[in-house]
Amino acid sequence: MDVRSGNPSLKDEVFEKGGYANSGRTMTIQGTVNKTFILLLLVLATAVYSWNQYLNNPETILPLILVGGIGGFVVAMITIFVPKAAPFTAPLYALLEGLFIGAISAQYEVQYGGIVFQAVLLTIGVLLSLLLAYKSGFIKVTQNFRLGVVAATGAIFVVYLISFVGSFFGFNIPHLHESTPLGIIISIVIVIIAALNLVLDFDYIENASEKRVPKYFEWYGAFGLLVTLVWLYLEILRLLAKLRDR
């Protein structure tokens, strides 16, 4: 398969490990859409639970973030390295991410009233707009486009990793988490890169379905798309918070 995605879960090697299905049920775009919808419902269910838990007892935020964040990361790694497990691990990942997102969202909502609703609407708007642009051919996924988005995504990952490790030693990357004009510009750029990853995900799922990969890759494709959507939502939430601080 000659396509690439900035999403670490949607890589050529992963689909190749699954092999191509010469007979029987194969991956379809509609099937992937249906399973993405199921995963989003699971995220919503645990996010609402986590949200209510935090509002009733703010001290629960740390356990919820740790269980959801660390648990989600572990399950995501299992899904990436064992794609056949996606029908089981993708829903579990969605449930864990819901705990994480719900707690984080509630914390933002308490500080900035109405911000979560705005972030959700913007995330949905970006998703639908880019899907329409992709399907209409307005956005062409060329090799240079892929390489640019993948490189930018990798750079963001490195910066976040340095920031995370540096926080343990009292080192902070200037403006990255600040509400300065430059900090807002940085967040806008990150949101754009996260959004462009959705386009690569659309392209990757479409190509995978054309290659007639096994049916379980519908869950895997839905999982990969969810990873990007979660990232996009959190970055939009962060950007809105910075704008509110101004």
Q: What is the pLDDT of residue 8?
A: 58
> pLDDT value at position 1?
39
CA angle 61, 62, 67 (to 5 degrees): 100
Q: Which residues contact 84 (CB under 8 A, 6 or more apart)?
A: 18, 216
Q: What is the pLDDT of residue 91?
A: 97
In this prediction, residue 179 carries a pLDDT of 86
For the chain, the first-to-last Cα distance in angstroms comes to 46
Q: Is 26 helix (H, G, I), strand (E, B) or coil?
A: strand
Say what angle helices 143-167 and 181-210 make with each other, to 10 degrees. Answer: 130
Q: Which residues pair with 26 in a beta bridge?
A: 214
Q: What is the mean pLDDT of each run of 10 residues along the chain (246 residues)?
A: 50 55 74 95 96 88 91 95 95 96 94 95 96 90 91 92 80 81 93 95 91 91 96 96 89
